[in-house]
Amino acid sequence: MPQSIYINGEYFSREDAKISVYDHGLLYGDGVFEGMRIYGGKVFRLQQHLKRLWESARAIVLEIPIDLRAMTEAVEATVKRNELTEGYIRLVVTRGGNQLGLDPFRCDDPQVIIIADKISLYPEKFYTEGLDLITAATIRNNPAALNPRIKSLNYLNNILAKIEGLRAGCVEALMLNHKGEVAECTGDNIFIVKNGVLSTPPIDAGILEGITRNAVIELAEKAGIEVRQMPMTRHDIFVADECFLTGSAAEVIPAVKLDGRVIGAGVPGPVTSELNRLFKELVSV
């Protein structure tokens, strides 16, 4: 079936889905987005994703042109129209605009775009054997400049860090914050396990509060695993027993090396494996 892309209440083929070259989203990265997973024909934690979208939009003074109920219906209709039972949703809201210039208040036609497509996962061997990470020289945005909790269309620092990782032969790269503390990876949150305790950087470390991250924290607490949200340095990862990443696309994926140093036993650990199992059970309900 041909792909149908939603733009402002209408559906277009992939070839015909277009927005203006004057759109602030294109010209200045002025907009917000969410990436969501489809399991069994339903969007995982849709309302949590939409809440974060609305908060991101509010933070950049962007008025989303439809309400929460209409957005929910539009996302669900787009999934159904594309006949996807497993896949990925990219929901984008741009500032719009019809002329050059930075002034956002001259933009009066925000664009709502919903793309439903198949998901491209990491190779299976990374889930069974673990992946290698490097520490990128590119840091997360300083919260005083652009708060990393805003999921904006300006992802250039993540892209630059991703380039560093790929050039080093790694599909993911660790990013530090402006204090030199561990923040997150280019597209995923990070966890470590030490002496049976699960730790992850706190929100004020300059991270995006991941939906999958929060789901894993909930699963761990229900399973009786102690969870700490605390500042971390690379040293904490180097001496950890286990390490794994979480994200809408990645789900739960183990990491076994950082900057050439083996983490723990160099293989996915028992806590990682158990949380991966519990997460798969959660999304299959």
Residues known to be catalytic: 151
- Here the tokens at position 241 are 């027993």
Nearest 5°: CA angle at 86, between 85 and 87?
A: 120
- CA 266 to CA 131: how far, in whole Å? 10
- CA 58 to CA 93: how far, in whole Å? 12
Q: Is the dihedral of CA 225, 170, 148, 121 positive or negative?
A: negative
Q: Is the dihedral of CA 63, 69, 70, 75 positive or negative?
A: positive
Pairing relation of β-strands 42-43 and 10-13?
unpaired
- Here the tokens at position 18 are 């277009």
- CA 261 to CA 16: how far, in whole Å? 48
Nearest 5°: CA angle at 31, between 55 and 84?
A: 85
- CA 110 to CA 93: how far, in whole Å? 7
Cβ atoms of residues 271 and 193 within 8 Å: yes
Q: How many CB atoms lie within 10 A of CB 65?
A: 16
